[in-house]
Structure 1
Amino acid sequence: MSLMITDECINCDVCEPECPNHAISQGAEIYEINPNLCTECVGHYDEPQCQQVCPVDCIPHDPDRKESKEDLMQKYLTITAA
């Protein structure tokens, strides 16, 4: 499943540059993750880099976007082929 950023986000700016798919951007109030670009770093890293650097632990899995590792790998292949 893709990740999401919750309201606990403090806009510290550390997650955005860590995303290899450029799925994270500044929203109206807090950072947001584009679920169409989020692969949880599958294809790039073993673990989601944004979760690793977030100082307030506000980047959980999005329960509304369930995806298997295979789905995430297919999304990665599609994104990197473009």
Structure 2
Amino acid sequence: MKAVLEEFEGEVARLVPDDGSDPIHVNLQYLPDECTLGDVFEVVYQKKDTLRIQELILLSNEKEQRMERMKAKREALLKRTKEQQ
């Protein structure tokens, strides 16, 4: 599952999953030092006995790709609005 780093709250980071499920709260010590708001992570769950272990993998190019897609959508909407006027 992919999740976007939305906010830092003290020593905890909040990630919002793409699938609309509840936010994931992670202690900052488990995030890479270089991460910033808007970064996208692959969240992997594994079962070990009764504990659930999360692995967070920073998807380095995903943030930029999403920003480019949003920019293209905005430009298309602006163009369509101008054509309708």
What TM-score does the superposition give when structure 2 sets the normalisation length? 0.20
Q: Does 1 or 2 have the higher relative contact order (CA < 8 Å, sep 6+)?
A: 1
Q: Which has the larger radius of gyration?
A: 2
Q: Tell me which protein shows more helix as a share of its residues.
A: 2
More strand by share: 2
